[in-house]
Amino acid sequence: MDRDHNSSMNILNEGLKQIGTVRTELTPVDIESSTLMSLRYLNSIPYVKASLVYESGSFTALA
């Protein structure tokens, strides 16, 4: 991780601690399951059609 990105993450985490919240790291399995739940929700809305896009080397994304 580069220095600027690491610093911004430290600042974010410190700010979240001060308001009583913490940032949790998600595993690829957690991301996949939350993406699938979001997909089901979006597809339950009339006139909305959501699908998954799988890209090599990246996490699952909604499209």
Q: Count of residues for the chain? A: 63
pLDDT at residue number 21: 78
Residue 32 DSSP SS3: helix
pLDDT at residue number 51: 82
Give tens-digit pLDDT for 18-50: 888 777 777 777 777 777 888 888 889 999 888
Report the C-alpha gap between 7 and 19 in whole angstroms: 19
Q: Is the pLDDT score of 5 beyond 60?
A: yes
Q: How many CA atoms lie within 13 A of 26 on its CB side?
A: 10
pLDDT at residue number 55: 67
Report the C-alpha gap between 57 and 63 in whole angstroms: 17
What H or E segment, with its residue span, contains residue 62?
A: strand 61-62
pLDDT at residue number 63: 46
More confident: 2 or 61: 2
